[in-house]
Amino acid sequence: KQEVTQIPAALSVPEGENLVLNCSFTDSAIYNLQWFRQDPGKGLTSLLLIQSSQREQTSGRLNASLDKSSGRSTLYIAASQPGDSATYLCAVQQGGSEKLVFGKGMKLTVNP
């Protein structure tokens, strides 16, 4: 059974720092991995999707990498801003399935 872990559960940093968010998964037979952002009481905003054949994806200040063999992904946020404060969720889609398995998320607070 696939399990997705995000550690730490929460992080508080001053504005301007470069951040690395970690995600690990137990079953490497994935189809893709996706990073989402969730603001309090809101739905999910997709940030980056990495196919299993890819190593990384970039969008603006965000860069996500995937090491499928070791079961790990990182989300890099450059020059963090208070507006980046949110919960970041990692989810994997199993090969041969449409199901997404989510981690519990990491609550990020960027202080001005």
Q: Which residue, 90, 87, 59, 86, is CA-closest to 74?
A: 90
Kindly tell me which residue out of 43, 60, 83, 112 binds another protein, with binding defined by CB under 8 A. Answer: 43
Binding-site member from 19, 23, 33, 36 for another protein (CB under 8 A)? 36
Cβ 102 to another protein shortest distance, Å? 4
Query: HSE-up of 30 (CA within 13 Å, CB side)?
Result: 33
**Binder of another protein out of 66, 89, 106, 108 (CB under 8 A):** 89
Least separation in angstroms between CB 93 and another protein:
6
Contact at 8 Å (CB) between 48 and 35? yes
